Structure 1
Amino acid sequence: MPAVTECEVENCAYNRDRACHALAITVGDTADVVVRHVQHLCDEHAHLLPHIETLRTTADTVGQTTPDALGAALADLQRFLADHLIVHAEIEERVLYPAVARVLGATEATATMSKDHVEIGRLARELGTPSETADGLSEERHLRRVLYDLPTGQGALRERRGDLPAAT
């Protein structure tokens, strides 16, 4: 993933890895500036989706690929989760969602997405721990369940279906 790209929004050095567009939205911004930042956030989500889809394709290979290949794929996914997806979710929680709640006057406006972030964080931690499964599943079934469940959070599903409002 590219670290820094040029941005046409004035005074913004867009860092995709740290979701600076969420950080860049400030009180008093004009609507057109906010819309451009929101569009970049939508673009960022679009950029994350192929990596999220890799969770599913990796789950499909569990039990059908070599342990070394699976280990390498899991290491890549854990880096993506830790360095990109979790960071993105944390910044949305810390900066974007409170701003949305203030504008809408309703903290429940982002409650579902916040729950998705909590679940994604829990599953990411579960993916990074040894497969001593408390749920009684075999190691392979447990790994498949975690990999399939990670991208099926309602937020990821809404983004994929296009239910999130477009920046206009």
Structure 2
Amino acid sequence: MRSVLHWTWSSVASEARSFKIPESVLVVIHTPRREVLLIQRADAGDFWQSVTGSKDEPGEAFIDTAAREVFEETGIACGPGTPLHAGLRDWHLENIYDIYPQWLHRYPPGVVRNTEHLFGLCVPPGTPVILNPREHTAYRWLPWREAADACFSPSNAEAILLLPQFADGPF
């Protein structure tokens, strides 16, 4: 009996850990000339966006979430000890928005809003991009205003339009 209860509890705990945490980052990757990297989602047709992603665990620092997501989605290393780390900047802004209905199943029952923390990452022109094909199918660099117009998400477009206030990167 004890092993059955343990197994059942382990399954429940494992399932609970598979839900996304409703705290995420949005990272506007850009060059000093304000060219912005947009990536196309694999699961949503013409959905172009900046790098986004949720915390892996509640205690993960947002700067660590940002660096991890940038690397996972684009292959660009910007964590501590990398040359691009100085270009990763916390904009100290956040968006709170309703989660799109098609993605509510990824969150715990009853969670309908997400808090998104904004970052920018200044990279040199020509920085190589390696997409994770399970998440994204294409990328493009666009002038910042065009990038904002191309975004599916209004909060992403608004973040890109803030770029001139924050685009004083190291390159």
**TM norm structure 2:** 0.25
Higher relative contact order (CA 8 A, sep 6+): 2
User: Structure 1-normalised TM-score?
Assistant: 0.25
Higher helix share: 1
Q: 1 or 2, which has the higher strand percentage?
A: 2
